[in-house]
């Protein structure tokens, strides 16, 4: 009960809780079930808050943390259950409270069938602006459910070859040289490392990595550089160090500087913070070499698929990334990975309390599960 | 044998025919089977030329004709057959000869499974430039096959609501007032008429239609107007006549004139000849209000789906159109129609020798068949 009371408190549900039923399953208890009484559709959305524990303190240019709040979702229809997840690192502005509020307002009983994905997800998107992680948690659960109803994994529904998955990068956070070296040793199975930069010790970070391994590196500056000449100089130095691309080198508002850097850099410059949804394409086209798509930024698998198609049509590079997430959202993103140039799908590897099994990594390469839907299994 | 000899002659296969097997089916004979001997994959592509007979002489700004050459395709895999079609009105530059040459070079035996759609269609697209109708004939047959293997119609695989199909327009070609009036009377069940303009008798055409009916009209000028001031004046006049949009009013090369017209016109201006494939988006973005997508222009259902997604993301209107086609290609296009603003899917209604059953029209509205794949049946 202690855990349950804490969940209720996290969700602001202790007082009131009007409209909620509380159902106990084996797996942590459900907080919200937003099937309205008396409605006839078989579709039920339920959700519960969960807190991911990070194996290592996670340091970005914007700060450090040891946990990530997520919301786990399920959509049930005719005894079939689809799983979804919202991962909400604090800097993106969503939280257990906001996701609870959003998901409470999602009424799937108005749709006769989960196959009406276009209408259902358009409806979900229009409920409120923002809330992309919460939206993704519905989108992923719906995809999982529909794939299971079709008895097909999503890579197959999209016509993709599961053998064409890329290597995933493994993230090395900003830290002291000894800690970085230790993490790099742990990351030996990976064929590409994503090194976080932008905290003033960039060369030290890269040199620490290079003192342990010659494996490929990509770097994520998280908007940490402010001078374009210094940024250009760094891209040249990084290229010499075996770096393959640079993610979000400067603040997303520095459009002219980034466009100049992209034109002059020997390495591709990838947008992350600068592109969230499909609507942001006009901000990155002609400014960056490519984009980093994340389900939690764009609202889910459907939007991500469209963004990949658009990026391809615009001759832009595509990377698919993640937050710290369970294997649910990571595996959902991995279903799209045969379409991308680079993948950074290590979010489930950075936590010690995953609740699903999904993708595995073999010699650094993503191995997709062959089950229907997103292909995950509860642990 | 006479028919067969004629087909062989049409295809230039009488002399040589190396690599072809000739298989006789009930339905007109197959010319090409490009399964290479000794290869192990179960996927077989076969194709045959066919000639559609138009019920009425068809007059565009570019000329008149009474027939349309098509190539019918089938892909067979594990006793399941997917149907496809290339429709090749002469002004687009493809022919029985070109389609035969292209399809002869398509080797599907190298793919282990029809589910590898992304790879298969990327391979087909890269065999040669152009040949979009021939490419579409493979794309459609592959979609039909994969949908049948998944036991799902494509509208459902794409998550679309089959009840959201639009009304289709019915095309009224350029002709003398009495003929136009007669055609309009025949078109009484339709809720929107697509009136061809651009031959100098535009007002007469519209007045002939309006003398018979008050139903909605859209107009297709097929690049027939050359003066932008006259074009703008016409759009105002057409709006007063109950016209809802104008398709390709001026030559596709007149980009500045069209952009000016779009900015000033009271009616949406839709690109047809100006956009063929995904790569042409940059030519129409900011120039037109929307695009007319046709499977035979863009290479098939997969490219069309991507183009619709892109147009939506760019806030452009979307119309889906067709050539004179059998119910095969028309029904394939109709699977996408719940996503579009306007449909012009009457190509099968303009011929008197269809070989498939597929979509039907009820009170002007497209009714999708509920069978798997593209949902058609041989007559």
Tens of pLDDT, residue by residue over A323-343, are 999 999 999 999 999 999 999
In eight-state DSSP terms, residue B356 is E
**Phi and psi, residue B182, nearest 5°:** -65, -45
Do B118 and A158 lie within an 8 Å CB cutoff? yes
Nearest by CB to A161, which of B119, B302, B339? B119
Mean pLDDT of A209-238: 97
pLDDT-based confidence at A35, cuts 50/70/90? low
Q: How far is A74 from chain B (nearest CA, A)?
A: 19
Whether chain B has a CB inside 8 Å of the CB on A136: the answer is no
The interface predicted TM-score of the complex, written ipTM, equals 0.86
Q: How far apart are CA B113 and CA B126, in angstroms?
A: 19
Q: How far is B118 from chain A (nearest CA, A)?
A: 5
Which pTM value belongs to this model?
0.88
**Would you state the pLDDT for residue B323?**
94
What's the mean per-residue pLDDT of chain A? 89
**Would you state the pLDDT for residue B202?**
96
Nearest by CB to A310, which of B119, B310, B338? B310
A 103-132 residues inside an 8 A Cβ radius of B:
115-121
Whether chain B has a CB inside 8 Å of the CB on A146: the answer is yes
* Chain B positions in Cβ-Cβ contact with residue A163 (cut-off 8 Å): none
Report all structural domains of chain B as residue ranges with CATH numbers, in order of start: 4-151 (3.30.390.10), 156-378 (3.20.20.120)
DSSP states of A111-153 as a string?
-S-TT-HHHHHHHHHHHSSS-HHHHHHHHHHHHHHHHHHHT-B
Do A161 and B310 lie within an 8 Å CB cutoff? no
Nearest by CB to B159, which of A115, A278, A339? A115
**Phi and psi, residue B145, nearest 5°:** -60, -50
Alpha-carbon radius of gyration of chain B: 21
pLDDT-based confidence at A92, cuts 50/70/90? confident
Do A146 and B159 lie within an 8 Å CB cutoff? yes
**Would you state the pLDDT for residue A282?**
87
Reading across the β-sheet that carries B80-87, which strands appear in turn? B32-33, B44-60, B63-77, B80-87
Give just the sign of the alpha carbon dihedral B357, B363, B368, B369. negative
Q: How do beta strands B342-343 and B317-321 pair?
A: parallel
| Region class of A53: left (phi > 0), else alpha (psi between -120 and 50), else beta | beta
**Would you state the pLDDT for residue A56?**
78
**Would you state the pLDDT for residue B59?**
66
**Would you state the pLDDT for residue B58?**
72
Burial class of A35 by CB neighbour count within 10 A (0 to 12, 13 to 18, 19+): middle
Do A118 and B159 lie within an 8 Å CB cutoff? yes
Q: How far apart are CA B158 and CA B302, in angstroms?
A: 11
Two tokens, residue A176: 């002291």
* Chain B positions in Cβ-Cβ contact with residue A279 (cut-off 8 Å): 313
Closest CA in chain A for residue B161: A116
* Chain A positions in Cβ-Cβ contact with residue B335 (cut-off 8 Å): none
Do A116 and B159 lie within an 8 Å CB cutoff? yes
Q: How far apart are CA B231 and CA A120, in angstroms?
A: 41
Two tokens, residue A318: 């595509």
Burial class of B307 by CB neighbour count within 10 A (0 to 12, 13 to 18, 19+): buried
Do B118 and A159 lie within an 8 Å CB cutoff? yes
Q: How far apart are CA A102 and CA A71, in angstroms?
A: 11
* Chain A positions in Cβ-Cβ contact with residue B158 (cut-off 8 Å): 117-118
The residues of chain B scoring below 50 in pLDDT are: 1-27
Whether chain B has a CB inside 8 Å of the CB on A160: the answer is yes
Q: B208 with B187: CB under 8 angstroms? A: no
Closest CA in chain A for residue B285: A282
Do B118 and A161 lie within an 8 Å CB cutoff? yes
Neighbours of B92 (CB within 10 A): 17
Q: B270 with B247: CB under 8 angstroms? A: yes
* Chain B positions in Cβ-Cβ contact with residue A157 (cut-off 8 Å): 150, 157
Is the pLDDT reported for residue A31 higher than 70?
A: no
* Chain A positions in Cβ-Cβ contact with residue B309 (cut-off 8 Å): 306, 309-310
Q: B69 with B61: CB under 8 angstroms? A: no
């Amino acid at each position: 009960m202690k855990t349950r009371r804490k969940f209720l408190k996290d969700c602001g549900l202790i007082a009131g809780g009007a409209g909620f039923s509380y159902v106990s399953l084996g797996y942590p208890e459900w907080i919200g079930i937003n099937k309205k009484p008396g409605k006839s559709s078989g579709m039920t959305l339920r959700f519960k808050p969960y807190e991911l524990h990070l194996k290592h303190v996670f340091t970005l240019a914007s700060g450090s943390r040891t946990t990530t709040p997520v919301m786990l979702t399920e959509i049930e229809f005719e005894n079939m259950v689809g799983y979804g997840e919202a991962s909400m690192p604090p800097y993106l502005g969503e939280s257990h409270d906001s996701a609870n509020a959003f998901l409470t307002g999602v009424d799937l009983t108005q749709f006769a069938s989960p196959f009406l994905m276009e209408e259902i997800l358009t409806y979900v998107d229009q409920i409120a602006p923002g809330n992309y992680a919460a939206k993704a948690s519905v989108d992923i659960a719906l995809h999982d459910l529909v794939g299971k109803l079709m008895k097909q994994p999503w890579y197959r529904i999209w016509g993709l070859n599961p053998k064409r998955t890329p290597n995933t990068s493994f993230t090395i956070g900003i830290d002291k040289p000894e800690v970085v070296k230790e993490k790099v040793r742990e990351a030996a199975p990976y064929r590409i490392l994503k090194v976080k930069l932008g905290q003033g010790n960039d060369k030290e970070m890269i040199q620490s990595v290079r003192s342990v391994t010659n494996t490929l590196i990509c770097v994520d500056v998280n908007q940490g550089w402010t001078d374009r000449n210094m940024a250009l100089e760094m891209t040249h130095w990084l290229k010499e160090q075996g770096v393959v691309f640079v993610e979000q080198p400067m603040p997303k508002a520095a459009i002219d500087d980034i466009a100049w850097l992209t034109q002059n850099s020997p390495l591709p410059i990838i947008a992350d913070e600068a592109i969230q949804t499909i609507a942001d394409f006009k901000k990155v086209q002609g400014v960056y070499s490519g984009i980093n798509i994340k389900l939690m930024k764009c609202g889910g698998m459907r939007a991500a698929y469209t963004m990949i198609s658009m990026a391809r049509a615009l001759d832009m590079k595509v990377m698919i990334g993640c937050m710290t997430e369970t294997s649910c959202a990571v595996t959902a993103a991995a279903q799209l990975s045969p379409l991308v140039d680079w993948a950074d799908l290590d979010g489930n590897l950075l936590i010690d309390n995953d609740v699903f099994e999904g993708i595995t990594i073999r010699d650094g390469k993503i191995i997709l599960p062959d089950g229907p839907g997103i292909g995950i299994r509860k642990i």
